[in-house]
Amino acid sequence: MSAALRARVAQGISRVVSQGKSLTEVLPDYDHLEPRDRALARELTFGTLRQYLQLMALTKQLLQKPLKKKDNDVLCLILVGLYQLFHTRIPDHAVLSETVQATLKIKKKWAKNLVNALLRKALRESEQLHTFANQSQESALNMPGWIIKQLKQDWPEDYVNICINSRLRAALTLRVNSRQTSRDEYLHQLEQAGIAASTHVFADHALVLEKSCDVTSLPGYLKGDFSVQDAAAQLAAQLLDVKPGQRILDACAAPGGKTAHILELTDNKSDVLALDNSARRLIRLDENLKRLNLKAKSLVADASDPDIWFEGDKFDRILCDAPCSALGIIRRHPDIAILRRPTDIVQLTQIQEQLLDALWAVVKSGGVLLYSTCSILKAENTQQIAKFLHRHSDAKLKKEWQILPGDEQMDGFYYAKLQKR
């Protein structure tokens, strides 16, 4: 639990909040750390970002004048210090000494006294500072104002709970590989290894672990007995109702979590084309399928332009797991709430509309297109599909399902199952 670790975490957080990097880009910075330090660095990073707006509101009260932009790493170090004081069991004296020493590691010796004085003041005046900070809904709910406003409009009864649930840690959920073992058999193996887990009410192959752990230490990791996947995401392949021998398109497939599930459910005997317009992400899809010993044809392509990739044989099943605001998965990716902008929503709904229209043209008559997002905004979900149904009289809505974050321990997700007449 060293000062160097705090310094690294502050720099990681600074890359997110001031350089707009995603956590997926930042977390590999911790890869070379010892497993225990890596776990702590991740916990401090996720935790600080989950509480970011409230910690910022506390810091603003504590600082006499704002820090310069070039000292964002010092600001982030203060946030990490406050997070440890108010949200972890690390003793106060350890937080103070390691965080203050971390100013030297980031080569900001001048900030040593400032950080020390500020963290001590935070401890002394914790109650007043929190009371004042929580007068703002942004700080109390740890959610940017524009997201609160949008959620309030879409979910007037639920928006506060949505914000609260988005700040809780999500359970570690596994998808048992039905080609290798059954869910109940694997649950038994976990029990024998002393790991508590339970089945899921909706997702047939899901096991929800009581406590998070290093998944590489779980039984059958190397054999590919399971993948890590939220239960809501596991519903995609299930709802698509896939069968061996079908021709299936996974249109926005990378990194391949749902492609792999489709192949597992069809015993690797379906003809799956996996498209994604990101070559980098598609490499991860290929690696994931290889680990699980599954086969699909993968192609870097814009799914909304079938002229480039469609070879004339229409599909029985299409999954359109569309790019979206991802506001349903903030509990797993707290950086989303910081990085997302209101203008993104307009652009995303246009892309979703183009994808839906283009893909509908290549569904067989009687075939199914499943549209999914990990969003909870109506513009991307129910309203998007209502407009689609208005444009396509040959489409029948067979099922629509909006899952809110925390429902049955799931991420926020939306599904619309559309059948072509």
Q: How far is the CB of 351 from ligand SAM (least distance, A)?
A: 6
Q: How far is the CB of 380 from ligand SAM (least distance, A)?
A: 11
Q: Which of residues 246-265 bind ligand SAM (CB under 6 A)?
A: 252-258
Cβ(198)–Cβ(210) below 8 Å: yes
Does the protein bind ligand SAM through residue 340 (CB under 6 A)? no
Active-site position among 163, 320, 324, 374: 374
Supply φ then ψ for residue 370, to 5 degrees.
-105, 120
Long-range Cβ pairs for the range 108-111 (8 Å, 24+): 108/71, 108/73, 108/74, 111/71, 111/74, 111/77
Supply φ then ψ for residue 199, to 5 degrees.
-75, 170
Does the protein bind ligand SAM through residue 178 (CB under 6 A)? no
- Using CB under 6 A, pick the residue from 137, 323, 332, 387 that binds ligand SAM: 323
Q: How far is the CB of 274 from ligand SAM (least distance, A)?
A: 9
Q: How far is the CB of 178 from ligand SAM (least distance, A)?
A: 17
Q: How far is the CB of 324 from ligand SAM (least distance, A)?
A: 6
Residue in the structure block whose two tokens are 């039905």: 178
Q: How far is the CB of 286 from ligand SAM (least distance, A)?
A: 12
- Using CB under 6 A, pick the residue from 137, 278, 382, 419 that binds ligand SAM: 278
Cα–Cα distance measured from residue 184 to residue 240, given in angstroms and rounded to the nearest whole number? 23
Strand ranges across the sheet with 413-420: 297-300, 271-276, 247-250, 315-321, 363-373, 413-420, 395-403
- Candidate segments 155-163, 216-224, 237-245, 273-281, binder of ligand SAM by CB under 6 A: 273-281
Q: Which is nearer to ligand SAM, 81 or 255 (CB)?
A: 255
Which residues, other chains included, contact 244 with Cβ-Cβ below 8 Å and sequence gap of 6+? 266, 267, 269, 270
Residue in the structure block whose two tokens are 């990791």: 221
Does the protein bind ligand SAM through residue 306 (CB under 6 A)? no
- Candidate segments 8-16, 30-38, 143-151, 272-280, binder of ligand SAM by CB under 6 A: 272-280
- Using CB under 6 A, pick the residue from 3, 7, 303, 385 that binds ligand SAM: 303
Does the protein bind ligand SAM through residue 380 (CB under 6 A)? no
Q: Which is nearer to ligand SAM, 138 or 250 (CB)?
A: 250
User: What interhelical angle do 3-17 and 35-50 show, nearest 10?
Assistant: 40
- Candidate segments 57-65, 139-147, 163-171, 270-278, binder of ligand SAM by CB under 6 A: 270-278
Which residues, other chains included, contact 65 with Cβ-Cβ below 8 Å and sequence gap of 6+? none
Cα–Cα distance measured from residue 340 to residue 377, given in angstroms and rounded to the nearest whole number? 13
Q: Which is nearer to ligand SAM, 159 or 413 (CB)?
A: 413
- Candidate segments 89-97, 135-143, 269-277, 383-391, binder of ligand SAM by CB under 6 A: 269-277
- Candidate segments 138-146, 214-222, 299-307, 340-348, binder of ligand SAM by CB under 6 A: 299-307
Does the protein bind ligand SAM through residue 231 (CB under 6 A)? no
Tell me, by CB under 6 A, how many residues bind ligand SAM.
17
Cβ(47)–Cβ(139) below 8 Å: no
Helices (runs of H) and strands (runs of E) counted in the chain: 19, 11
Cβ(198)–Cβ(186) below 8 Å: no
Which residues, other chains included, contact 290 with Cβ-Cβ below 8 Å and sequence gap of 6+? none
Does the protein bind ligand SAM through residue 304 (CB under 6 A)? yes
Q: How far is the CB of 255 from ligand SAM (least distance, A)?
A: 5
Does the protein bind ligand SAM through residue 275 (CB under 6 A)? yes
Does the protein bind ligand SAM through residue 328 (CB under 6 A)? no
Is 374 annotated in the active site? yes
Cα–Cα distance measured from residue 99 to residue 7, given in angstroms and rounded to the nearest whole number? 8
Q: Which is nearer to ligand SAM, 44 or 330 (CB)?
A: 330
Q: Which is nearer to ligand SAM, 99 or 234 (CB)?
A: 234
Q: Cα angle vertex 40, ends 36, 44, to 5°? A: 175
Q: Which is nearer to ligand SAM, 82 or 233 (CB)?
A: 233
Per 3-state DSSP, what percentage of the chain is helix, strand, and coil (rounded to 5)?
A: 50, 15, 35
CA distances from 58 to 67, 85, 133 (A): 14, 12, 6
Does the protein bind ligand SAM through residue 29 (CB under 6 A)? no
- Active-site positions read 374
Residues that bind ligand SAM (CB under 6 A): 252-258, 275-278, 281, 302-304, 321, 323
